[in-house]
Structure 1
């Protein structure tokens, strides 16, 4: 026990943003590994059309959930993070969001006949059930984020994802197909909510109209921005599902999920920074805000750039040997890799705008990007299939990123740690050259031949980066030592 207490003391001694980013990153790495293995299992056991049905459910769930939320999740996180009357804001949030969920559920039940795709696959009732349980899960999860309890926040997310996968694997093994995948998704939410409830320290208290007005003033723009982002995220899936087959939906989303690996470090950093940026912005600490964004990009790109480089070189073999021949769409992979790399910058810029209370500007950027995404998808998907959806994502993500950069740079100074980024590029180039040489010399005819350059290239990259960049090396050593 003394060893465990000593370890916890050392972990807690690490500065808050570093500690919480590290916790989030560790869980992200663990989930990415487990999620990767489960996805491989699903692609080997289930037909691409079955997976396509599940991804269509996720798309509908995401869009309907944002309507239920109406921006109140972002609003309550913002107001609670500011440190003023958190109990009152939590109670107002719960009451208002409950009302919106009740109305949306009633409308869905009345319009059930129009959801033909969901009814055919038998997941419409799961959609209703998922929305009900998500109401309680979000009511606990969002305020915890506002309180800055990012260790619990991200750990609960990890438990959500892992329990979801565990239940899905068992359900698929037992032959439940789409119902098993959706049922596991809902079960994960319930389990994580129960864990977070133990650390929840807010109470129901009386609130007044000022709290409602404060949440509503933020939630209006937050809702519009979040809704636009959700539509942007799922527009390609829905349009593919409309014009093409469910199997195409499954193939596209499996590749999209694969490229998401490059941004999990960035996601961890954003989660840890959000309440800090909000607090610094409220108290006018511009120096800390500007300093944080330069470091955030450096550590976001440490993993993203080498993964993109490696996937460009080995991508065709990765898709073939990992998921199977039906998923081997190399062009889609490459286009989505660059789209996801650009998305790292876009998500960071948007997060800073929202945390600094510029949700109106964030919404305008997002709605332009979403509108463009829908239009380009409608123009390309019917003619060139899922490749068109990938190109649409790249084009519109680039547009959104340029706009968000322009707006945020008018508010704060955005500086990049150029020396560190150059060193990351150098280390990635060195790794890439050696991996290309390996591929030219050794024919890759099995998964084992593929594993060697992946593992060896990773070690080469880390070793060369630490030699090239003393700042990055020192940062990691300091965290590990403490």
Structure 2
């Protein structure tokens, strides 16, 4: 597998999805009221939290086992049969809890929520199958399809008068069509299931399940609690800030998704040196977007929310800065957390996740009541600090981790240089429209790029990636030889 090409493909898909989502939310923020859009965000929050028990960590276990190359057909059939049990329980629970769910959200969405859970799990299963086959690059089109379908059909549904329910219909339609496309592209056949495969999958999934809880708690628990203690308008503002900050981790997310199956294959072959060589080469590029993004958001947080989404959303500007700072740690965690799972130690990733969940719950409730959406951002950020530090500590037990400190220092210095230029420019040119804001961002991107390329090591790294994109080599191949 060409890791460079696959990473770029997934990064483009992730970036495309983020851009579509970002643009879609900005558009729907004008077609619907903040309260209506808040209903959709609460729907997504419930969906995100219910994914956890509906999957029970089985999809991640399937990707891990298929990537090891041991009886993939048997693993696939066994995993599908295993998934039926928790998925059925969750769907039944949602249907039984319809009155409470509808009352919490503010409209009747419980049945649609049950349908969406099934459709999402089917769609995501195809992603994990293709990734386990070391075809991460081939998942790019499947990953971006749901968002593209959501945007196009969502506009049609909303214009047809379906309101916020139209966005939910569009979400379900995106999952269904993307599942069909991904299922068609898989190469792993269905084979007779066995108890040995079931034991192998469940032994991994029980820990992967706990790690997933941390991820979804991190993504959605603060939104759910804001909906409980504040208003749906606050939900909309906070979630809009979250979506802006999520753009910064496109690169690290794509890299983490790409290297997991390859690391898993190397771990099965006990090629530890290759894994150790890949981690620093993954961390550096992961930070190249998120660090300057933090500095840029620190300058323009209020302007971004005001001009992109509207005046109702500008109240989340402080929360946006906090969330963007936290994304720096998330970029590191994306690599280290998945590396722990790839070397077959999901129990340690789960242990770190449990600590993070405890911090998240302990802080979110009081801080939201005291400081509103700013408190939610602080609680989420602190819980992720705990998760990242613990994952680094546990990973160092098995691997020698050498972070590229020189490159990271230059990236930080380049970001500060960019900020200085933007501060000077802002003293001369006022940012009073979306066009002026976009112009400022463009100047920042060009300035930062010039500073980065002034570093010979980073410049060589960029050129090496370009060369690998034109060949069949991956970063791991360049560093340690073909596997």
TM-score, structure 1 length as denominator? 0.93
Q: How does 1:11-26 map to 2 (within 5 A)?
A: 16-26=2-12
What SS is found at the alignment partner of 2:150? helix
Alignment pair present for 1:466 and 2:479: no
Is the Cα contact below 8 Å between 2:290 and 2:328 reproduced in 1? Answer: yes
**CA positional deviation for 1:40:** 1.2
Cross-structure match for 2:31: 45
**CA positional deviation for 1:364:** 1.0
What SS is found at the alignment partner of 1:121? coil
**CA positional deviation for 1:43:** 1.6
The counterpart of 1:122, out of the listed 108, 112, 120, is: 108
Alignment pair present for 1:356 and 2:360: no
Alignment pair present for 1:319 and 2:305: yes
Q: How does 1:366-445 map to 2 (within 5 A)?
A: 366-445=353-432
Change (3 A) 1:452 1:232: closer
**CA positional deviation for 1:346:** 2.0
Is the Cα contact below 8 Å between 1:336 and 1:390 reproduced in 2? Answer: yes
In 2, the alpha carbon distance for the partners of 1:451 and 1:135 equals 37
Cross-structure match for 1:4: none
Cross-structure match for 2:193: 207
**CA positional deviation for 1:418:** 2.1
Is the Cα contact below 8 Å between 2:94 and 2:110 reproduced in 1? Answer: no
- Give unmatched runs, 5+ long, in structure 1: 1-14
In 2, the alpha carbon distance for the partners of 1:109 and 1:331 equals 38
In 1, the alpha carbon distance for the partners of 2:331 and 2:312 equals 28
What SS is found at the alignment partner of 1:202? coil
**CA positional deviation for 1:448:** 2.0
Deviates more, 1:330-339 or 1:258-267: 330-339
Is the Cα contact below 8 Å between 2:39 and 2:106 reproduced in 1? Answer: no
Is the Cα contact below 8 Å between 1:420 and 1:472 reproduced in 2? Answer: no
In 1, the alpha carbon distance for the partners of 2:64 and 2:410 equals 36
Q: Give CA deviations for 1:28-48 in whole Å, capped at 9, x if unaligned.
A: 233333322222111222211
Q: Give CA deviations for 1:196-232 in whole Å, capped at 9, x if unaligned.
A: 1221122222122111111111111111221233223
In 2, the alpha carbon distance for the partners of 1:292 and 1:117 equals 49
Is the Cα contact below 8 Å between 2:95 and 2:110 reproduced in 1? Answer: no
Alignment pair present for 1:136 and 2:122: yes
Change (3 A) 1:178 1:400: same
In 2, the alpha carbon distance for the partners of 1:295 and 1:141 equals 25
Is the Cα contact below 8 Å between 1:354 and 1:362 reproduced in 2? Answer: yes
Alignment pair present for 1:190 and 2:190: no
**CA positional deviation for 1:145:** 1.6
In 2, the alpha carbon distance for the partners of 1:134 and 1:324 equals 30
In 2, the alpha carbon distance for the partners of 1:29 and 1:215 equals 31
What SS is found at the alignment partner of 1:441? coil
Q: Give CA deviations for 1:225-273 in whole Å, capped at 9, x if unaligned.
A: 2123322322111111111111111111110111111100001101110
**CA positional deviation for 1:88:** 0.3
Change (3 A) 1:480 1:441: farther
Alignment pair present for 1:59 and 2:45: yes
In 2, the alpha carbon distance for the partners of 1:351 and 1:477 equals 25
What SS is found at the alignment partner of 1:23? helix
**CA positional deviation for 1:141:** 2.7
Cross-structure match for 1:91: 77
Is the Cα contact below 8 Å between 1:294 and 1:415 reproduced in 2? Answer: yes
The counterpart of 1:225, out of the listed 193, 197, 211, is: 211
In 2, the alpha carbon distance for the partners of 1:332 and 1:231 equals 17
RMSD (CA atoms): 1.7
In 2, the alpha carbon distance for the partners of 1:29 and 1:130 equals 23
- Give unmatched runs, 5+ long, in structure 2: 472-483
In 1, the alpha carbon distance for the partners of 2:92 and 2:306 equals 45
What SS is found at the alignment partner of 1:444? coil
What SS is found at the alignment partner of 2:454? helix
Is the Cα contact below 8 Å between 2:55 and 2:83 reproduced in 1? Answer: yes
